[in-house]
Amino acid sequence: MRQPAVRLLWLSQVPYAELLALQERWLRRLQAEPGTEAGALLLCEPAGPVYTAGLRGGLTSEEATRLRALGADVRAIGRGGLATFHGPGQLLCHPVLDLRPLGLRLRAHVAALEACAVRLCELQGLPGARARPPPYTGVWLGERKICAIGVRCGRHITSHGLALNCSTDLTWFEHIVPCGLVGTGVTSLSKELQRHVTVDEVIPRFLEAFKETYKCTLISEDSPS
């Protein structure tokens, strides 16, 4: 049986706003002709620090002002979840997918994202990575969160996705309660493996995990469309 084809767009290190703009273009494309193509996998490394608040909020106006004073961008976006941080050294993965050609429902899509992150950690030599039951989201190593997940889905079309800490400066997380979970910590591949792990290093293994999990092929595109 022929596997569905997903377009792959690796943006390298770009401002977070560029990722959001490309995501919006792909959303409009899939919404215009629903069910005709599987969509696109958008990958990037954020060029600068940004805090995002999801549909459930997570940041007051006073907190947003304080975070901007640190030199970070602050954005309210349409994904699920509360507040988190994105920045250099982090792999951002936004699958803009029509779930119908992939034969998936929303819950299966979220589970697949978690499985991709778990598999990547395994391939990097961290077999202890796990998804946890609610209220926890994302992928964890013990009580330390290594990958945040927050998605949006409307009419079977997804956006947003996951953020995996590779060599992220984790001190940025100290200024918020990540995802609203008190008493938990954050970590990165670099911290766990005790060596510098770049986003570029993990991309091939992440793509391997994505193809295995979503049972799709990836078609690389040289430029955003």
Asked whether residue 175 is marked as a ligand-binding residue, the answer is: no
What pLDDT digit, counting tens, does each position of 109-120 carry?
999 999 999 999
What pLDDT digit, counting tens, does each position of 74-100 carry?
988 877 677 889 999 999 999 999 999
Q: What are the b/e assignments for 92-105, b being 16+ CB within 10 Å?
A: bbbbbbbbbbbebe
Asked whether residue 81 is marked as a ligand-binding residue, the answer is: yes
Eight-state DSSP code of residue 137: -
Whole-number pLDDT of residue 55: 65
Q: Higher pLDDT residue, 39 or 184?
A: 39
Asked whether residue 154 is marked as a ligand-binding residue, the answer is: no
Whole-number pLDDT of residue 57: 60
Up-side HSE of residue 182: CA atoms within 13 Å toward CB? 0
**Which amino acid type is present at position 175?**
H
CATH code of the domain in which 82 resides: 3.30.930.10
What pLDDT digit, counting tens, does each position of 201-225 carry?
999 999 999 999 999 999 998 655 5
Whole-number pLDDT of residue 182: 56
Q: Which helix (H) or strand (E) holds 189?
A: helix 189-193
What pLDDT digit, counting tens, does each position of 132-184 carry?
987 788 999 999 999 999 999 999 999 999 999 999 999 999 988 765 455 57
Q: Name which of 11, 8, 95 is nearest 45 in CA terms.
A: 11
Asked whether residue 152 is marked as a ligand-binding residue, the answer is: no
CA 136, 140, 141, 147 dihedral sign is negative
Give the separation between CA 14 and CA 79, rounded to whole angstroms. 20
Asked whether residue 86 is marked as a ligand-binding residue, the answer is: yes
Indicate whether 225 belongs to any domain.
no
Whole-number pLDDT of residue 82: 76
Whole-number pLDDT of residue 181: 56
Q: Which residues constitute the domain of residue 74?
A: 5-220
Number of independent structural domains in the chain: 1
The yes-or-no verdict on residue 9 having pLDDT over 70 is: yes
Indicate whether 134 belongs to any domain.
yes
Parallel, antiparallel, or unpaired for β 5-14 and 39-46? Answer: parallel
Whole-number pLDDT of residue 58: 66
- Confidence class for position 12, pLDDT limits 50, 70, 90: very high
Residue 49: helix, strand or coil by DSSP?
Answer: coil
In the chain the first and final C-alpha atoms are separated, in Å, by 28
Indicate whether 192 belongs to any domain.
yes
- Confidence class for position 7, pLDDT limits 50, 70, 90: very high
Residue 175 burial class via C-beta count within 10 angstroms: exposed 0-12, middle 13-18, buried 19 and up: middle
What pLDDT digit, counting tens, does each position of 177-205 carry?
765 455 578 999 999 999 999 999 999 99
Asked, as a colleague might, if the bond just before 135 is cis with ω within 30 of 0, I would say: yes
Whole-number pLDDT of residue 109: 97
Positions annotated as catalytic residues are 179
What pLDDT digit, counting tens, does each position of 46-82 carry?
999 999 987 666 688 898 899 999 999 998 887 767 7
**Which amino acid type is present at position 136?**
Y
